[in-house]
Chains A and B, each alone.
Chain A
Amino acid sequence: MSIMQTLVQTAARFKPDADPDPLIASKKYVGRALDRVDGRLKVTGGARFTAEYAPDDMVYAAPVFSTIAKGKVRRLDTAAAESSPGVIAVITPKNMPRLVTPSLTDFAKLDKIAASNLPVLQDDSVHWNGQVIAVVIAETHEQAQEAAARVRADYDADEGMVSFERNKDKAIMPKDVLGEPPEIKIGDAEKNLKSAPVQVDATYRSPYYNHSAIEPHATIAYWEGDDRLYVFDSTQWVEGYRNSLAHVFALNRENIRVMAPFVGGGFGGKAGFWWNTILCAAAAKMVGRPVKLALSREGVFRIVGGRTVAEQRVALGATREGKLTALIHTGLTVTPDHARYAEQCTFPTRHLYATEALHVAQYVVNLDMVANTWMRAPGESIGTFAVESALDELAVELRMDPIELRRKVEPARDPTKDTEFSSRNLIEAYERGAAEFNWSSRNLQPRSRRDGAWLVGHGVATAYYPALRFPGGARVRLEADGTAIVQAAANEMGMGVATGQLQHAADRLGLPLHCVEFDYGDSHLPTSPMAGGSCQTLSILAATRATVEKLHRELLKLEQKDSASPLKGAKYEDLVARDNGLFLASEPSRGVSYVEILRKAGKPYLEVEGVSSAPMEMMKYSMASYGAQFCEVRVNETTGEVRVARWLGSFDCGTVLNPKTAMSQLRGGIVMGIGMALTEEMLVDGRSGRIMNRSLAGYHVPVNLDVPRIDVLFNDIPDPQTALGAHGIGEIGITGVAAAIANAVYNATGKRVRDLPITLDKLL
């Protein structure tokens, strides 16, 4: 840590707390299960996704993928493609515009966010199997596809490093993991482990996973002159894409506009800046026409990376009473040198449990693969699989109920950050969940319940994801008729951002819901952080809160020019916003409507832009969402088939903005976790580095019949450190799921599977 960082952290710790957000107590729309605002558009086919814009004169691009993992393209034969009907151009490194090499995500600045820092089609080198080596542009989609199939490549192949198994010995410790130290030691965990009366020491494995959002990545780009670029893109972060494009094409940021009004799911796969966007913009530049590059499903598997494979060791030393004396969690993941993203699998362990000694450490092996990237709850999803499985193993050793064990290891302070928790009610989530799920009827003894050919078991695990906030901006425009528009560059991939932010804005402004609009999905709007890491909701809430405060202060100033004003002499702190205007908190009858203030001031509208403060609260406190995942599984004794029969997620994630959208988010996360546990796995050919199952037929996303009814409970306890007391909830649903299933499978069968996905062969 630099001296500067240390100073800031120290300052943050001594900074007095701001009062909790007063709106927590007086919310009206927030907390209600309102229907989503974009629902009508989405059920009528009226919501336009990226690939559906149709600028005049548009042409189509189709990429050609490499079939080796490492080496050079010796000869690229494009003649047949060039003479194929409808072809306008074939782009290769020879004629590709010269571009600046993209920059990897810098977590200190968080502006540019390329997933890989390889030059894009600038030379003949190949770095992964599936890398784009040429792009065909043609008048129609079919013509482009046909011509792309006619491009022939000869390679000088090097022996690439693609096998995880064979290259584990080349693991290194990364410099940092998302800006945090790769290794933390408190006390001597190995020594404590050896002397502990009860010990668990096991290795947990998980495969490569793919986001598989149902909308494949798509871009439409066009230029105005040489220096103005317009891009529709299925991105999770319009602004990050805008900045990254500006960097790569050496343009001013203001000259680029990135728009993503509707995005068909992302889950992290559309946050990093990938080649398809760059190639599309470059193609549009070359041919001087709008270009559409809509990746095929295979294309997504080939050029957009997913979650890394992982091997994690968790070792626990405990007393007979269930107190931890040692907690060791080390993780080995894959990242290519051009991505340098060590997935933060040890992060949950850094903040979850009380232990006398702790050791966490992360290692990576650099393989010649497509860049790995964030996928829903990166780190925490696989990390909780390891640590929550291990905790269950410890409970078995202790012959203790696993929830009782969670009580014994509940910490008073964050174990590595050594700060207080802003709001942590994990045990309450366990208790509410246990009552609802009827946990007490579970058998401690494995393999003790059956239903015909099916062995029945129950499992539980902790869910965990940090509550993150980034500074951001918002613009609020109040119209003379008393309606308002709130604007932020935010992205809506379906989570319900627009709906939740509207509920908040209406409450914050004291306006009826129908008088407020929320504009988003456009890089021309005020800066917002990415729709990722569950940070967007919290960040925009804080930005809107700051901006509305600014608006109210300006309105008060305007109003106080009127000497007969009912708010004469009032200070901002005396006011509440309600019933379409500002009122004195102490004298509810004294107030004035927004319409009246603007009328008196002779203003057709008032528009202000604000920014939220730096997230000092994240330094002062340990801030996170928690949960308890309960499940019942049935394992067929003859075939080994695992079916999830019942699910309950009990969550502690602050104030719930809208239970309808929130429950759906969490259920979606839980289902992705069921896929992670039971069906999903990207298979990489250990010789060629080719992803073998690069289709939805080969990569098994859970279908409707694979999942049971899923119940969700909320503590709904506000976090005093956040706007509205809320947390983002996009990631937490998936965390703990795979462990809960593995634990239930153990309870059903007596077999501990430490290797995901839990397929039949592992149970026979």
Chain B
Amino acid sequence: MKQTLTLTINGKSYSDEVEPRLLLIHYLREVAGLTGPHIGCETSICGACTVMLDGMAVKSCTMFAVQAEGRSVLTIEGLAQNGKLDPLQEAFWNEHALQCGFCTPGMIMTARQLLADNPSPSEQEIRHGLEGNLCRCTGYQHIVNAVKAVAKAGGA
């Protein structure tokens, strides 16, 4: 019952035989070997699995891998270009927007979406925009600071 899935991840094309029930997050982690997106709940609550799908942030535990057929996925691994960190990655590090780092890849992806939608968000808008991503460690404030810093410097 497997079917062929062809898609682009971080600019590279992938083609694999997969079961239709395979979730996108499991495809990314177990088949494509990209373990940057994490699993915190598998029920679309925590946001640890967030990736960009054709430029939109999605929780990759919420969709089947086969739904990504022919589409383009960006995971945290594809964000830095030639070893140079993306401004959000820089800011998350500088501002200490992480502790254990488990929420971080998903948080950065959602923050990217937030800044794409609203390049100069207020503190309240940042908190609102990131409320679908749980962090149990940092107390959130450093995450807000990181997003603010990027917005101030002209965006992601």
Residues of A within 8 A of B (CB): 35-36, 38-49, 51-52, 54, 140-142, 211-216, 262-265, 267, 294, 296-297, 493-496, 660-661, 664-672, 695-697, 701, 703-707, 709-710
When distances are taken between beta carbons in the complex, the residues of chain A under 8 Å from B35 are 45, 48-49, 51-52
- Cβ-defined contact, A496 with B99, below 8 A: yes
Contact A265 to B93, CB < 8 A, known contacts A696-B46, A703-B134? no
**Residues A43 and B127 in contact in the complex (CB < 8 Å), given A214-B40, A215-B40:** no
Main secondary structure of the interface of B (DSSP, over half): loop
Size class of B's contact patch? 35 or more
Interface string of B22-43 (1 = CB under 8 A from A): 1000100110011111111111
Specify which of B39, B45, B102, B140 is in contact with A265 (CB 8 Å cutoff): B102
Q: A35-B94, A45-B36 are in contact. Are A667 and B143 (CB under 8 A)?
A: no
Q: Is the CB of B128 within 8 A of A696?
A: no
Once the chains bind, are A668 and B139 in contact (CB under 8 Å)?
yes
16 more A-B residue pairs beyond the given contacts A39-B98, A42-B98, A214-B46, with a C-beta to C-beta distance below 8 A: A39-B96, A42-B104, A43-B92, A212-B136, A213-B102, A213-B136, A214-B48, A214-B100, A214-B136, A215-B102, A264-B102, A494-B100, A664-B137, A664-B138, A703-B131, A704-B135
> Which B residues are CB-close (under 8 A) to A213?
100, 102, 136
Q: Are B101 and A262 in contact (CB under 8 A)?
A: yes
Q: Does B89 contact A (CB under 8 A)?
A: yes
| Residues in A whose Cβ lies below 8 Å from that of B30 | 140-141
Give Cα A51–Cα B37 distance, bound, in whole angstroms: 12
B130 within 8 A of A: yes
Residue contact A667 to B42, C-beta cutoff 8 Å: no
- List, in ascending order, chain B residues with CB within 8 A of A696's CB: 40-41, 43, 45-46, 134
Chain B hits for A41, CB < 8 A: 101
How far, in Å, is B87 (CB) from chain A's closest CB? 11
A–B complex contacts, Cβ < 8 Å, 10 sampled: A44-B36, A45-B37, A46-B77, A49-B35, A51-B35, A214-B134, A264-B38, A671-B140, A696-B43, A707-B141
B80 contacts chain A at the CB level, 8 A cutoff: yes
Residues of A within 8 A of B133 (CB): 703-704
Cα(A212)–Cα(B46), bound, Å: 11
Give CA–CA (A54, B30) in the complex, Å: 9
A705 CB contacts on chain B under 8 angstroms: 124, 127-128, 131
Q: Which residue of B lies closest to A701 (CB)?
A: B134
With a CB–CB cut-off of 8 A, which chain A residues contact B26? 141-142
Residues of B within 8 A of A (CB): 19, 21-22, 26, 29-30, 33-43, 45-46, 48, 75-77, 79-80, 85, 89-90, 92-94, 96, 98-105, 108, 123-124, 126-128, 130-144
- Point out the residue from B42, B85, B99, B136 that lies within 8 Å of A297, measured CB to CB: B42
The answer to whether residues A667 and B45 also contact, given A43-B98, A661-B96 and a CB cut-off of 8 A, is no
Among B96, B123, B141, the residue within 8 A (CB) of A710 is: B141
- Cross-chain pair count, CB within 8 angstroms: 183
Contact (Cβ within 8 A) A265 B137: yes
A211 to B137, CA, bound (A): 11
Once the chains bind, are B48 and A45 in contact (CB under 8 Å)? no
Give Cα A42–Cα B30 distance, bound, in whole angstroms. Answer: 19
Inter-chain CA distance A43–B105, complex, in Å, is 6
Looking at the assembled complex, report how far the CB atom of A671 sits from the nearest CB atom of chain B, in whole angstroms: 4
User: With A262-B101, A494-B99, A697-B43 known to touch, is A671 a contact of B33 (CB < 8 Å)?
Assistant: no
**Chain B residues in 8 Å Cβ range of A39:** 92-93, 96, 98
Cα A146 to Cα B130 in complex, Å, equals 33
A47 surroundings in chain B (CB, below 8 A): 101
Asked whether A215 and B38 contact (CB < 8 A) given A44-B80, A670-B139, the answer is: yes
Are A667 and B40 closer than 8 Å at their CB atoms? no
Q: In this complex, what residue of B is CB-closest to A733? A: B139
Residue pair A667, B142 in contact (C-beta under 8 Å): yes
Give the CA-CA distance A214 to B47 in the complex, in Å.
10
Q: How far is the CB of B66 from chain A (nearest CB, A)?
A: 13
Chain B residues within an 8 Å CB radius of A496: 99
Is A44 a contact of B139 with CB atoms below 8 Å? no
Q: How many Å lie between the Cα of A52 and that of B79 in the bound state?
A: 20
Inside 8 A of A141's CB, which chain B residues have their CB? 26, 30
Contacts of B108 in A (CB 8 A): 43
- Give the distance to chain B from A49, nearest Cβ to Cβ, in Å: 7
Interface centre among B46, B94, B100 (most CB of A within 10 A): B100
Q: A264-B102, A664-B96 are in contact. Are A707 and B139 (CB under 8 A)?
A: yes
- The distance in angstroms between the C-alpha atoms of A297 and B137, with both chains bound, is 17
Closest approach, in angstroms, between the C-beta of B77 and any C-beta of chain A? 5
Complex-state Cα separation, A39 to B132, whole angstroms: 23
A493 vs B137: C-alpha distance in the bound complex, in angstroms? 9
C-alpha spacing A701/B133, complex, angstroms: 11
Across the interface, do B93 and A695 meet the contact criterion of CB distance under 8 Å? no
Query: Are B102 and A668 neighbours in the complex by a CB distance under 8 Å?
Result: no
Complex formed: what's the CA distance from A494 to B100 in Å? 3
B136–A54 contact, CB under 8 A? no
Q: Which one of B22, B98, B127, B136 contacts A672 once the chains associate, using CB atoms below 8 Å?
A: B136
B105 adjacent to A45 (CB under 8 Å): yes
Name the residue on A nearest B130 (C-beta): A704
A residues in contact with B141, CB < 8 Å: 667, 707, 709-710
CA–CA, A731 and B70, complex, Å: 48
Rounded to whole Å, the gap between the CB of B47 and the closest CB of chain A is 9
Chain A residue contacts of B41, Cβ below 8 A: 216, 297, 695-697
Closest to A675 in B: B136
Looking at the complex, which one of A42, A670, A672 makes contact with B101 (CB distance below 8 Å)? A42
Which 5 residue pairs across A and B have the least CB separation, nearest first? A45-B36, A667-B139, A494-B100, A42-B101, A494-B99
Quick check: A495 and B99 within 8 Å, CB to CB?
A: yes
- Evaluate whether A494 and B101 lie within 8 angstroms (CB atoms) in the complex, with A696-B134, A704-B133 already known: yes
Closest B residue to A212 using CB positions: B136
- Evaluate contact between B102 and A214: CB separation under 8 angstroms: yes
User: What's the Cα separation between A661 and B99 when bound, in Å?
Assistant: 8
What is the bound-complex CA distance between A701 and B144, given in angstroms? 18
Contact A297 B40 (CB under 8 A): yes
